Amino acid sequence: MKPQVALEFMFIFGIFLIGVTVVALAAWNSMANAEKASVDFEANRILNLIAGRLNTAYLEGDGFAIGLDVPERIGVQNYTLQIEGNTLWLSVSDNSYSGKLLTPNITGSLAKGRNTLSNVDGVVVIS
């Protein structure tokens, strides 16, 4: 009788461990998806902010200037910004995001922190 009870206990305990493992894996997957969604949202927010300010500086014409504060990080991750023609690229981890700009006539490079965008004779100057 005792061996049967021990065997039943091990069987029930094994099922319990499998259940706990499944729940832990589901929770981990959910957290990973939430973090990716958070990074995606913040990357798109930063991209839209920068593209909007660059486009505003271009559309307002000669003599217009506007400030731009670029965040240092997205969450805890570092990222890069690059302008190629009339496309703005933001890269974080293994993901790249792009935004369209109204003009390829942009000089200077975006730095994290405070930037000033000026329109000088139809060319957007980043300083």
C-beta separation of 36 from 30 below 8 A: no
Distance CA 89, CA 69 (A): 17
- 86: alpha, beta or left, given left = phi > 0 and alpha = psi -120 to 50? alpha
Q: What is the pLDDT of residue 17?
A: 93
Cβ atoms 53, 117 nearer than 8 A: yes
Q: CB of 102 within 8 A of CB of 58?
A: yes
The one-character DSSP state at 98 is E
Q: Which helix H or strand E contains 49, and what residues bound it?
A: helix 2-60
Structure tokens, 69:
């504060």
Q: What was the pLDDT predicted at 32?
A: 84
Q: What is the pLDDT of residue 3?
A: 76
Over the chain (127 residues), the average pLDDT of each successive run of 10 is 80 92 91 89 95 96 94 93 95 93 94 95 94
